[in-house]
Amino acid sequence: MSANFTLFCSQCHYSFPPGKFVYVCPQCSHKNTTNTPPHGVLKTLYPYEEIKEKYKGAPLFTQLKKNQFLDILPIEKAESMGPLKVGQTPLYTFKTEKENGEIIPFYLKDDSQNPTFSFKDRASQLVSAYAREQDIDTIVAASTGNAGSSLAGICASQKQRAIIIVPKTAPPAKLLQIIMYGATPVLVDGNYDAAFDLSLEATRYFGWFNRNTGYNPFTIEGKKTVAFEIFDQLKGKLPSRIFVSVGDGVIISGIYKGFEDLLQLGVIKKMPVIVAVQSSKSDNLLRNMQNDAFEMRPATTLADSISVDYPRNFFMTRKFLQTYKGEGIIVSDEEIMQAASLLARETGIFAEPASAAAMAGFLKFLHKGNYDENFPALVLSTGSGLKDIQTPLKKINLPQPIKPNIDALKTMVEKAEQ
């Protein structure tokens, strides 16, 4: 068993013995109730001073990359990651136009180009790799769709069994992926929280390995690899801000964790400003940033992947945002769909609504000014628009068929140009 990691509870500050895996802090998780975000989510730490000493005198990040970042991942072998290429997704430079005509450059990191078209592949791959090294053959996950289809695809490539528990309202495209990958789909007559609770019970009863975000600490370790890629692709520079869609808070915590690892190792000197973007119809994380008692409002956003009542990684995300002076922006569902449309038309990237929320936050930020063109902002695009076509279909009008002759075509073209 690999012993290069130590699991640490940032709430009670208890550290488990090196190499020991547990899902959540047993002390803090006893505080959990049905009307609060869960306590006891664990952070994975590494022997940072030993790693610096190991590569003393050499360019540290170059050496970490050469070793495929195994020094700061909880697995022993890169081969355990399996055959699919996860990560190393493209980082583009695009431009957008403000209302006053000013042209603004920005970066876009497109994680929809992962194997199952979702950022979630980063977490699924690492969880699968750890399970493979521990000779675990069955992994269970609760999901609104993306995490489930991701785990199903990764497990298919690793010849592992995947049990995916989803609400019956999950988008059909995501259910189709789960079934096509050969996983076992379980539709529950309830919401994501009901699916989550059933997956925990199944983990205890059957002994399956659990991939749930905000429960398995290694999901954050998989997601943090995007920070390493951003640093590498920008040749050691940091964007002025990184805009991230937020639901449970696990993706943004992963980004923070990746940069925090680099900070601990002295590779970077400061944390980039990370901006959490939520829908006004699912703002339970940002709205409770300063609250002593958590106040939940039922999430009703059309962006299903960030529609969350009780953010599973609330406490860690809040601490990251407060410690490193992160920012938050709330956008409307209308702004999300407008951003998805603009992103598709101006860049050729078709993002699902939950992913487009980050772009909506960036566009809203632009209207406030104070933009640093020397270090453009970065928008993280986390999932393909083909994951959920039903939502955008409600917002557009499909064209009516025309007669197959040039006059009919001419009339249609002239109307379109008006």
Report yes or no on 399 lying in a domain. no
Q: Which domain holds residue 235?
A: 91-113+224-393
Q: Are 283 and 304 within one domain?
A: yes
- Residues 383-414 as b/e (b if ≥16 CB within 10 A, e otherwise) read bbbebbeebbeeeeeeeeeeeeeeeeeeeeee
- Residues 233 and 98 placed together within one structural domain of the fold: yes
Quick one: 196 and 299 in the same domain? no
Asked if residue 256 and residue 193 are part of one domain, the reply reads: no
Query: Domain check: are 184 and 204 in the same one?
Result: yes
Question: Percent of the chain at pLDDT above 90?
Answer: 80
pTM of this prediction?
0.94
Residues 100 and 206 both lie in one domain: no
pLDDT tens track for 115-130: 999 999 999 999 999 9
Phi-psi region of 145 (alpha: psi -120 to 50; beta: other; left: phi over 0): left
Instruction: Determine how β-strand 103-110 pairs with β-strand 91-97.
Output: antiparallel
In this model, does residue 3 exceed pLDDT 70?
no
Q: Is residue 404 part of a domain?
A: no
Write the pLDDT tens digit of every residue in 21-59.
Answer: 999 999 999 888 888 899 999 999 999 999 999 999 889
Closest listed residue to residue 385, CA positions, set 335, 329, 341: 341
Mean pLDDT lowest among 170-174, 213-217, 232-236, 376-380: 170-174
Structure letter (DSSP) for residue 206? H
Which of 169, 189, 215 is the last residue in one of the domains? 215
Would 405 be classed as within a structural domain? Answer: no
Classify residue 193 as exposed, middle or buried by CB count within 10 Å of its CB (0-12, 13-18, 19+): middle
Report if residue 66 sits inside a domain.
Answer: no
Could you tell me if residue 77 is inside a domain? no
161-167 sheet: strands from edge to edge: 184-188, 161-167, 138-142, 209-210
Which pLDDT band holds residue 66 (cuts at 50, 70, 90)?
Answer: very high
Asked if residue 386 and residue 354 are part of one domain, the reply reads yes
pLDDT score of 361: 97
Residues 103 and 249 grouped into a single domain: yes
CA distances from 242 to 287, 387, 393 (A): 20, 23, 29
Q: Among residues of the chain, what percentage have pLDDT more than 70?
A: 99
Mean pLDDT to the nearest integer, 79-101: 93
Same domain, 287 and 373: yes
Answer yes or no: is 358 within a domain.
yes
| CATH code for the domain of 339 | 3.40.50.1100
Residue type, 328: G
Shared-domain flag, residues 208 and 243: no
Residues 299 and 176 in one domain: no
Domain count, the chain: 3
Task: Decide: 264 and 271 in contact? Cβ < 8 Å.
Answer: no
One-letter amino acid at 194 equals A
Domain edge (last residue) among 215, 249, 277: 215
57 falls within a domain? no
137 & 242 share domain: no
So what's the pLDDT on residue 1?
40
Measured between its terminal Cα atoms, the distance across the chain in Å is 67
- Bridge-partner residues for 77, per DSSP? none
Mean pLDDT of the chain: 93
Per DSSP, 114 falls in state S
Q: What pLDDT does residue 101 have? A: 80
The two three-digit tokens of residue 243, written as one number: 């805009």
Confidence of residue 209 (pLDDT cuts 50, 70, 90): very high
Residue 67, domain member (yes or no): no
